[in-house]
Amino acid sequence: MRENIWKYISAVLILLLAVSSVAVVLLYMQNSELKSYTPSNVSPVVVETSLNTTCNETAYKLQIEELQRQLDFLKAQLREENMPEGNTTIAVVPVFGLIDDYTALQVVSVLRDIAKNDSIGGVVLWIESPGGYVAPVREIYATVRKLDLIKPVVAYTGGIAASGGYYIAVGAEKIIADPLAEVGSIGVIYVHYDLQKNYEMNGIKVDVFKTGPYKDMGAEWRGLTEEEREMIANSIDTYFQAFLQAVSSGRSMPINETRKYATGQTWFAMNVTGSLVDETGDLDYAIKVLSEILNVPRPRVVIYKGEHSSDFGVFGSTALLLDPRYVNAYVKG
């Protein structure tokens, strides 16, 4: 079964790179600041050019569509190579609670084992999470994306898949949610506590020995300089752009449409069906949807045990893919 798998994987990765490259060029064109604006006190200058921006944009869109069709074809071939012989098992893998390094270690290990298990045809990723730290969220998301190339993944939430939880969900082929589940919260949050005056009021003096001007940036014993604020804002925006791209790609949604949902707000799934989620339903319905993708009428279902860290905490200034309602409860000194 696996003798030709690497040639398909190589082809898929090449196509993914091509799609990403063309998408970046298109995004640059859409966001270009070179508009036909002329200040009132400046005489207009006409520049003749043979470049037709509209035609180029259309050509890039058509190219993306063609690459996507080729990618879907190779994805189907890859999945066919990995279809179990005989009885097919569906694995239900939970991602519960706040997402930290421990969560990523557990979930990624399970998903990698499933990828090698010939008896498992697909995965229902059961997400009940408001998000967490950036790196663990992105690690799980990347693993989900890779697994979905060879075995279909359907994400499901019955209560909440917000911020980092939703980030992970968009790596799946489909998202099923309870009608009243909260989804979205697309954005990044960074909280800095400036306790300098509190330290002074309590007679606490902090001596800091550092090797560079930014080594204690974000420390609670002092405020942020304007330059540091700008640096942090740039970092947050970088994480945010990656989040936007993940949603745009995973939901097959134009980037400008994606931005409309990137306000940090959560929605009831029933109000964003067809955009942020595919359909509403319960866990059994999510399993049914995956069964139909696999074309297996009566699959065996195995629910993995969910484990998560009981010591999640925000111990200092850091960027989070976390619904803001959950931040304060996990700030620890």
Annotated catalytic residues are 163, 215
Specify the pairing of strand 189-190 against strand 89-96.
Answer: unpaired
Specify the pairing of strand 160-162 against strand 182-184.
Answer: parallel
Cα Rg, the chain, nearest whole Å = 23
Residue among 102, 153, 98, 92 nearest 303 (CA): 92
Specify the pairing of strand 266-268 against strand 182-184.
Answer: antiparallel
Residue among 53, 280, 255 nearest 156 (CA): 280
- Burial of residue 322 (CB within 10 Å: 0-12, 13-18, 19+) is buried
Cβ neighbours for 175, distance < 8 A, ≥ 6 positions apart: 154, 155, 156, 157, 161, 169, 183, 276, 277, 278
